[in-house]
Amino acid sequence: MSEGRPLELSGAAFEALVAKVAAACARAIEALPAQHAAGCVGAQGVAEALAVRWPIAETPMEGGIDAVLARLERAFAASLATAGPGYLAYVPGGGLPAAAVADLLAGVMNRYAGLSEAAPGPCALEDDVVRFLARAVGYGPESGGVLLSGGSLANFSALVAAREAVLGAGADLRAATIYTTSEAHHSVVKSARLAGIPPAHVRRVATDERLRMDPGDLARAVAADRAAGRVPFCVVTSAGTTNTGAIDPLGDVADVAAREGLWHHVDGAYGGAFVLCAQGRARLAGIERADSVTLDPHKGLFLPYGTGCLLVRDRETLLRAFSMGASYLQDFDAAAEAIPSPGHLGPELSRPFRGLRLWLAFALHGAAAFRSALSEKLTLARRLADGLRDLADRGVPVELADEPQLSVVPFRLARRPDQTLARANAENAAFLRAITARGRVFLSSTMLPGPDGPIYTLRACVLSFRTHADRIDALCEDVAAAARAVGRA
C-alpha cells in the first residue's frame, strides 16, 4: 500500500491480497459437493444475515482481508447454494471459475467497453463472442447482438427493437398489441410494460397439452385484434419455458409472424444455449427464423450472474433502436466504428467488459467443452425421467407432468382418487420439503394448469455444469425416501 494513499495498492500488495482471496475461493470450490444443496435462507438465513452486517466505518475493518473473508464466508453461507451440484431449483448455471477470473482481469484493467472507439480491443473480443453465439443460433453475417445484464434486459431490449422496427419511432402505442402464452417468463410482461405497451394488450395465446403455443390460436387472436382496431406487432415465444422447459413451435409461429408482419422474438433465456449441442439444436429447429433471440449465458453457458445476450437477425434493427450520439463524444476516432459498440446496440452506455467472461472461458476450455456439458444435461434429464418412471413401476406413486422437452423434469405425487386438489397440493409441498431436508438436492416448485385448478408440481432443472449422474441418482433415492416420509410409499 502506498503511504498516505490507501486506495492505491502496490503490485506486491495486490498480489498478496489476491492470493488470499484465491485460497478462499479454492476452499469454497472444494467444499461444494459436500455442502447442503439448499443453502441457508428463510428465518435462519435472515438471522445470519443480520449477524454479518457491518455498518460502513471511516476506518478499515480490523483484521484486514482475513477478517473480511471470514465475514464474507458467513454472508455467502446465508443464501441459496446456487453454485453447487445439487442445485436443481429455478434455473441454475453454476458460475464458471474461468469467468470469475475474467471479472478480476476486466475489473483491474477497467477499460471502457461501452464504445469501440474507446476500447477497440475489448470490444473486438466481445464481438467474437456475439458472432459465435449468433452463428450457433443459425444467423447470417447481417446479424448482431449485445451482451446485457441478464435475460430480462435482453427481452426488454428485444421489445424496444421490435417496437421501433414494426411501428416506427414515436408511434402511438395505445393500440399496440403483443402475443405470448401464460407460460412465458414474467419478464416478458414486464418488458412490454417498460416498452410502453398497455398491459391489457399482452395477449395470452392458448397452449397445447404440453404447454406449447398454439399457432392456430395465435393467428385467430391476431385477426380478431386487427378487426377490433388494435395493432398487432410482436409475438414472443419460449425456447424452453421456466416452468417445464416447453418449446413453442418456433417454425410454425415464424410462419404466422411472416404472414402477419409481426416481429418474432424467442425468449431462450433458459433453453436457447442448447443450440450448441446437436440434440438441442434439433429440438430448437426454427429458432434461426426469429427476428431476435434472448440467450442467458448466466444460465445455459454456466456463467456467474450478470450476463444475458440479445441476438438479432439484422444488426441494423438494434442500431435504429439504440444508437445515439452526443457532443461530448466528438473526440473519438471514427476508425473504430468497424467494431460494434455495445453502447449503440442496447440501453447501456458505461458497462463492464462482459464479453471477457465468455471469451476467456471459451479460450481456456474450447467451445466443445460447452457443447458436451449441454448435451450431458439433456441426457441427465432423460435419466431422471426414466428413474422416476422406474420408481412408479416399483410402487412409488410419482408421476411426470411431462416428458422433458429440454432439461426441466416436472413431476409430483399422483393425486389419490379421494383427494381434494387442495390436499394433493399440500401433500406435494410436504413432499418437496422432505426431499430438500435430505440435503443432497434442492428443487423448486410451480403451479401447472389442471382440470379443476392449478396443480402443485415439483421441477428439477438440470443445468449446472457441476451436476452429474451421481446427483440424479441421489435425487431418485431421495424422491423414494420422501414419498415414504409423507406416507405415500
- Which spans of this chain sit near ligand PLP (rule: CB under 6 A)? 91, 150-152, 155, 185, 187, 238, 242, 267, 269-270, 296, 308
**Minimum CB separation from ligand PLP for residue 14, in Å?**
32
Closest CA to 482 of 433, 434, 428: 434
Of 35 and 444, nearer to ligand PLP (C-beta) is 444
Residue 149 or residue 341: which is nearer to ligand PLP going by CB?
A: 149
Nearer to ligand PLP, 155 or 425 (CB): 155
Q: Is the Cβ–Cβ distance between 157 and 293 less than 8 Å?
A: no
Dig out the grid coordinates for 283 from the structure: 429440438
Q: Residue 116 or residue 457: which is nearer to ligand PLP going by CB?
A: 457
Smallest distance from the beta carbon of 184 to ligand PLP, in angstroms?
Answer: 7
Closest CA to 406 of 288, 322, 280: 280
Q: Cβ(297)–Cβ(145) under 8 Å?
A: no
Minimum CB separation of residue 158 from ligand PLP in Å reads: 11
Nearer to ligand PLP, 116 or 467 (CB): 467
Q: Which long-range contacts (CB under 8 A, 24 or more apart) does 130-134 make?
A: 130/309, 130/311, 130/340, 130/355, 132/362, 132/367, 133/295, 133/309, 133/311, 134/311
**In the complex, minimum distance from the CB of residue 122 to ligand PLP, in angstroms, rounded to a whole number:** 23
126 close to 354: Cβ distance less than 8 angstroms: yes
The minimum distance between CB 458 and ligand PLP, in angstroms, equals 17
Question: Could you tell me if 93 and 300 are in contact, meaning their C-beta atoms sit under 8 angstroms apart?
Answer: yes
Whole-angstrom distance, CA of residue 32 vs CA of residue 84: 5
Q: Nearest Cα to 318, choosing from 94, 157, 83?
A: 157
CB of 138 to ligand PLP, least distance (A): 19
| Sequence-distant (≥ 6) Cβ neighbours of residue 292 within 8 angstroms | 158, 161, 162, 263, 264, 265, 266, 310, 311, 312, 313, 317
Contact 321, 165 (CB under 8 A): yes
Residue 59 beta carbon to ligand PLP: minimum distance, rounded to whole angstroms: 38
- The total of other beta-carbon atoms located within 10 Å of residue 315's CB is 21
Closest CB 283 distance from ligand PLP, rounded Å: 15
Distance CA 398, CA 476 (A): 11
Whole-number Å distance between alpha carbons of 336 and 340: 8
Which residues partner with 247 through β-bridges?
239
| Residue 219 Cβ vs ligand PLP, minimum distance, rounded to whole Å | 24
Crossing angle (nearest 10°) for helices 64-77 and 11-31: 30
Nearest-angstrom CA–CA distance, 15 and 470: 38
Closest residue to ligand PLP in the complex (CB): 151
> Is the Cβ of residue 295 or residue 479 nearer to ligand PLP in the bound state?
295
Q: Which is nearer to ligand PLP, 242 or 292 (CB)?
A: 242
Minimum distance of ligand PLP from residue 324's CB (angstroms): 24
Give the residue with the Cβ less far from ligand PLP, 152 or 425: 152
**Closer CB to ligand PLP, residue 177 or residue 242?**
242
Residue length of the chain: 489
Nearer to ligand PLP, 164 or 296 (CB): 296
**What's the min distance (Å) between Cβ of 185 and ligand PLP?**
3
Considering the complex, state which of residue 155 and residue 467 has its C-beta at the smaller distance from ligand PLP. Answer: 155
Reduce the DSSP state of residue 219 to 3 states and report it.
helix
The 10 Å CB-count burial string (b at 16+, else e) for 63-92 is: eebeebbebeeeeebbebbbbbbbbbbbbb
Our CB check for ligand PLP shows the closer of 134 and 269 to be 269
- Tell which residue, 181, 183, 179, has the closest CA to residue 243: 183
Q: Which ranges of 326-420 would DSSP assign to H, the alpha helix? A: 342-345, 355-365, 367-393
Minimum CB–partner distance for residue 223 and ligand PLP (Å): 28
Buried b (16+ CB within 10 A) or exposed e, 231-259: bbbbbbbbbbbbbbbbbbbbebbbebbee
Residue 293 C-beta: closest distance to ligand PLP, Å: 11
Residue 115 vs 462, nearer CB to ligand PLP: 462
